[in-house]
């Protein structure tokens, strides 16, 4: 039986990029992807309208536009999508950021060869051999490499990226929802790296192409760096206590989103 794969596209204020991302979902990709959800994290620009227009123009793409009930942050949007995938009995979920920095076609060889079946998660890396970077500043490249090295020391295996915009997860890995207490912000993916070490997940890093052109970064470097260091030290000292701890600034009972538009039918909300 063919695996049921969900493509999840998180987005916040990406009206300039979101259509370029959606245009990556062509006939070839739809051979692998069963459904696509674009999760809008309460954008204040025209992101939603752009997605609705795309859906109207491409009725062959099984795309739903979801709007988070609250601004959950990037990590929180992952939780919305992971929960959706579990509840709707998907086998895998692909994450492709809505700001058009990554290219889903970097994942095609892994899909074609069914390499993903051998791993709990396949994580795109901007800093592994074969990757391509365009428009990425040298200071950010250097900073990422340093943190990749430090995290590698902590987990005692090579870490090639703490969080890119193209990843694939097995639902079997996510079903316990161990991720719910993780931060809702940008360091969610780094926490997932530590969790994969703790739970002994089988992880594959693969090269991706990555570009910065008209994207607006939400990364605050000093705060992000401090958060990563704090996380790494706590995990190194007491792994179990850290992974099981509550890491959110605001504890939520649920992460849900409303379906705003699906196919040719608008949903009243």
Q: What is the mean pLDDT of residues 31-58?
A: 96
pLDDT at 240: 97
Give me the percent of the chain exceeding a pLDDT of 90. Answer: 87
CA-wise closest residue to 72 among 38, 37, 42: 42
Distance between terminal CA atoms of the chain?
Answer: 36
Angle between helices 138-155 and 188-198 (to 10 degrees): 20
Task: Give the pLDDT confidence score for residue 217 in this predicted structure.
Answer: 56
- Average pLDDT score over the chain: 93
Three-state DSSP state, 228? helix
pLDDT computed for residue 70 by the predictor: 95
CATH number of 5-266: 3.90.550.10
Torsions phi, psi of 161, nearest 5?
Answer: -170, 135
Contacts of 151 (CB under 8 A, 6+ apart): 159, 162, 190, 193, 194, 232
Q: What confidence score (pLDDT) does residue 267 get?
A: 43
How many beta carbons lie within 10 A of that of residue 188, not counting itself? 20
Residue range 99-149, pLDDT digits in tens:
999 999 999 999 999 999 999 999 999 999 999 988 888 888 999 999 999
Whether 216 has a pLDDT exceeding 60, the answer reads no
pLDDT band at 264 (very low <50, low <70, confident <90, very high): low
Half-sphere exposure (Cβ direction) of 250: Cα atoms closer than 13 Å: 11
Of 74-78, 147-151, 175-179, 265-269, the poorest mean pLDDT is in: 265-269
Higher pLDDT, residue 208 or 266: 208
Interhelix angle 188-198/73-87, rounded to 10 degrees, is 50
- Residue 225 tokens read as 């760096």
Residue 162, strand partner residues: none
In degrees and rounded to multiples of 5, residue 211 shows phi and psi of -140, 150
3-state secondary structure of 108: helix
Q: Where are the domains of the chain?
A: 5-266
Q: Which of 24-38, 135-149, 202-216 has the highest mean pLDDT?
A: 24-38
Say yes or no to pLDDT of 193 above 60.
yes
pLDDT band at 259 (very low <50, low <70, confident <90, very high): very high
């Amino acid at each position: 039986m063919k695996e049921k794969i969900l493509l999840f596209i998180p987005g916040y204020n990406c009206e300039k990029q979101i259509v370029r991302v959606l245009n990556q979902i062509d006939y070839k990709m739809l051979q692998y992807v069963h459904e696509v959800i674009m999760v809008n994290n309460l954008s204040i620009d025209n992101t939603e309208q752009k997605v609705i227009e795309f859906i109207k123009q491409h009725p062959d793409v099984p795309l739903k536009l979801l709007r988070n009930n609250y601004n959950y942050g990037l990590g929180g949007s992952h939780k919305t999508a992971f929960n959706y995938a579990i509840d709707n009995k998907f086998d895998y979920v692909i994450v492709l950021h809505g700001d058009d920095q990554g290219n889903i076609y970097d994942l095609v060889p892994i899909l074609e060869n069914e390499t993903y079946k051998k791993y709990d998660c396949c994580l795109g890396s901007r800093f592994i051999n074969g990757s391509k970077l365009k428009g990425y500043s040298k200071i950010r490249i250097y900073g990422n490499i340093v943190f990749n090295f430090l995290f590698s020391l902590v987990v005692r295996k090579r870490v090639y990226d703490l969080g890119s915009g193209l990843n694939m997860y097995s639902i079997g890995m996510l079903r316990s929802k161990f991720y719910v207490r993780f931060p809702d912000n940008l360091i969610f993916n780094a926490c997932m790296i530590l969790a994969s070490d703790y739970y002994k997940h089988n992880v594959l890093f693969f090269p991706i192409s990555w570009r910065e052109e008209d994207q607006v970064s939400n990364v605050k470097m000093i705060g992000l760096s401090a958060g990563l260091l704090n996380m790494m030290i706590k995990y190194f000292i007491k792994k179990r206590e850290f992974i099981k701890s509550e890491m959110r600034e605001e504890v939520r009972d649920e992460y849900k989103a409303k379906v705003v538009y699906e196919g040719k039918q608008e949903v009243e909300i």
